[in-house]
Amino acid sequence: MTARSRPLERVRAAAAIARLALQQIEDELDGETDAHVLAQIVHELHHEAHPQDGALGALAQLLTKAGQAAAVSTVDPDDAESAACAIEEAAAFVSDSAGMRLHLATRTLDPQGERPAGAG
């Protein structure tokens, strides 16, 4: 293994671990699931109050970092800018669009679940 391939191997291993973790969450959804529990599971994917704490927030942060790396990559500057823009748009989609939809689903499944402590 060359020095250049080591980071890619670590990324592949980390991605495999992430896929396994997601599969474990998916396995929890097999069979009948109470709406409150389902809301809590979905909430772990996206925390409306603190998006960076959810799985989607972590993915969006990773994509943002990848976009920054693309912007300074050694490819043609126009290509680097185009790639960076596409990756950053994907990060925004994950956090904004997908996150809002999950928040709405969480509120529908458990209307009391997203309220701040003491509210009500």
pLDDT at site 74:
80
Contacts 24+ apart (CB under 8 A), 99-106: 99/46, 99/48, 99/51, 99/54, 99/56, 99/57, 99/60, 102/42, 102/43, 102/45, 102/46, 102/56, 103/46, 103/48, 105/39, 105/42, 106/39, 106/42, 106/43, 106/46, 106/48
Which segments in the chain show pLDDT lower than 70? 1, 113-120
In this predicted structure, what is the pLDDT of residue 78? 82
For residue 1, the model assigns a pLDDT of 63
